[in-house]
Amino acid sequence: MKSSPPATSKNTYTMKARAETMATTRERIVREGLKLAVELPYEDITLTAIAEAAGVSHQTVLNHYASKEGVAAAAAELLARETAERRQAAVPGDLPGAIAILLDDYERFGDANARWAMSSERLGSLARFLEEARAGHQAWLEHIFTGSLPKPAAARRRAIHALHAATDVYTWKLLRRDLKLTRDDTERIMMDLVRGTLGTLGAAAASASKRPR
């Protein structure tokens, strides 16, 4: 007679299956919330819309994230993590490669980023994610263009701010959405802006080196 598996094994399997189901549901809710953020202003997104998109009940969303702000916070964390992973592929000094990776991100989630940034004063605790995203973008710029940046701290910070303005999501939005340029044209203009900034830095450094000491 074949013996039944121990009850503890059944319980462990059941608990594991439930945990996996919960994790899958949580991720689906977050990803659907992120998709809605690409399409709609934050204020127009409702818990009901998130629930319907994720194929779960309104209460299920509340059970996992407590509020719309909770879903948005989780979506912002997911977006930041995946953005950082994709940008790791950029090679320092490779301007075309770096801008291409940046544009890939903006084409996917630039609309959501721009909407969140424009709503930052009304986002409450979510505003910190925008600050972290800006800091992360500047750290990435410093990593990619470190060989072209001036050494003095003040000049280096000013250069990073200039590069940030040239590559910010607002710059992408202006070119891609407001001026209705193609992705290729947007990419070329953003590279021109970065090259112009780097060229100015190089000229300033050369001028400084020629000054009598």
Give the best-scoring range by mean pLDDT among 59-63, 198-202, 206-210: 59-63
pLDDT for 114-126, tens place per residue?
Answer: 887 777 666 666 7
Select the more confidently predicted residue: 77 or 144.
144
C-alpha 163/C-alpha 160 separation (Å) is 5
Number of domains in the chain: 2
Mean pLDDT of 154-168: 95
Please check the confidence at residue 193 and state whether its pLDDT lies above 60. Answer: yes
Token code pair at residue 142: 């410093």
pLDDT, mean over the chain: 86
What pLDDT is stored for residue 120 in this prediction?
A: 66
Q: Can you tell me the distance from the alpha carbon of 36 to that of 55, in angstroms, rounded to the nearest whole number?
A: 14
Q: What does the pLDDT read at residue 4?
A: 58
* Residues 93, 67 share a domain: no
Percent of the chain with pLDDT over 70: 82
What is the pLDDT confidence band of residue 77, given thresholds at 50, 70 and 90?
confident
DSSP 97-159: HHHHHHHHHHHHHHHHHHHHHHTGGG-GGGHHHHHHHHHHHHHHHHHHTGGGS-SSHHHHHHH
- What local confidence, expressed as pLDDT, does residue 150 receive? 92
pLDDT at 9: 60
Shared domain check, 157 and 68: no
Same domain? For 60 and 27 the reply is: yes
- pLDDT over 80 at 213, yes or no: no
- Tens-place pLDDT, residues 97-107: 999 999 999 99
30 in the same domain as 54: yes
Residues 106 and 209 both lie in one domain: yes
Which residue, of 25, 52, 75, is where some domain finishes?
75
**pLDDT confidence band for 14 (50 / 70 / 90):** low
Same domain, 43 and 96: no
Same-domain status, 96 and 196: yes
Domain boundaries, position 177: 89-213
Of 8-12, 106-110, 152-156, which gets the smallest average pLDDT?
8-12
Q: What is the arithmetic mean of pLDDT over 155-168?
A: 96
The set of residues, in sequence order, having a beta carbon less than 8 Å from that of 193 and lying 6+ positions away, is 166, 167, 171
Q: What is the average pLDDT across 130-155?
A: 93
Q: What percent of the chain has pLDDT over 90?
A: 57
- In a domain? residue 129: yes
Burial of 144 (0-12, 13-18, 19+ CB in 10 A): buried
